[in-house]
Amino acid sequence: MRDVDAAYRAALVDEYAAYRRAGRTTDASQVAAVLRDQYGVEVEPAKEKAAETAAPERADQKPPEAAVDPKPRRTPRAKPGQGKDGD
């Protein structure tokens, strides 16, 4: 016999994922509340909730110094016609 509750729970998880992909966060939050209250399933990790309340990152800001790799050291190139064997 088929487990109806498991099928319903799986359908709600799929619905939640579809809402998140579509950017419908309000609908996704409502489905997540049903999953949490009726089935004890947590689909929204705690760090996602914290990330939504954090200030958005701005594109015109420079990244912190630790995040930037140092520029590679340039080495002089040989001039055309000056090979190792002395063309």
Q: Are 16 and 35 in contact (CB under 8 A)?
A: yes
Alpha helices in 1-73 (DSSP H): 4-22, 25-34, 46-53
Sign of the C-alpha dihedral, residues 52, 54, 60, 66? negative
pTM of the model: 0.50
What is the model's pLDDT at position 12? 93
Q: What pLDDT, on the 0 to 100 scale, is given for residue 27?
A: 93
Q: Looking at residue 59, what DSSP letter applies?
A: T
Q: Which residues does the chain have with pLDDT short of 50?
A: none
